[in-house]
Amino acid sequence: MYKACVFDLDGTLTDTLESLTYSVNETMKELGLPEITSGQCREFVGNGAKVLIEKTLRAAGDENLTRFEEAFAAYQRIFDKYCTYHVAPYPGITEMLEDMKKQGMKLGVLSNKPDRQAVHVVEEIFGANVFDHIQGQKDGIPRKPDPAALLYIADEFGVESAETLYIGDSEVDGATGNAAGMDTVLVSWGFRSRSVLEAAKPRFIVDTTDEILKIVREKGEKI
């Protein structure tokens, strides 16, 4: 049976696209540069804040990233203020988490969002007592798709990779879970197209939270 489940945050547990787009565009306004669309932001997220700003600057014509330091500093300040702007859990997420906790599963979050904001969003939206471990991007710890942080969380939980389900919404998450040797679920309601999810070769692709609970239940029945 699965003893733990670790989730990506943006596009998996919570719809954060509006907060990300708003924060990026407030940054661009401050620098006097063109804004991006929500569609562009959807494509740019997934590899951490620095990559998001790099891709945004290139889209604005700063191919050599001459204004990166200025832009990243502004984004960090602005996103710290607006990281929960219009953020909400996707349908069925809250109920699914309650079901998992009732089954005694350890629950974790691993995000490429900066750690301070990742913790803030999770605790603001879900409360401080739902997840047993929340981790965002920290200096000195490789970001996903490196599996080191995911394996660290499993170790903190005292569980093996085979006992851990990893759930995300992108090719980055697929590579992370696969590299960690975990059964990996990619959700179709997030920031990537189904063709991208299929190319990532996860163990499962799901369209609803009920499908995730079915995967957990069927794993338990096989033991």
Measuring CA to CA, how many Å separate 186 from each of 53, 68, 105, 211? 25, 32, 19, 11
SS (H, E, C) 159-183: CCHHHEEEEECCHHHHHHHHHCCCE
Considering the candidates 8, 10, 15, 169, report the single residue annotated as catalytic.
Answer: 8
CA of residue 108 relative to chain centroid, distance: 11
Residue 139 annotated to the active site: no
C-alpha span between 212 and 7 (Å, rounded): 12
| Residue type, position 29, single letter | K
C-alpha span between 55 and 45 (Å, rounded): 9
Indicate which residues carry an active-site annotation. 8
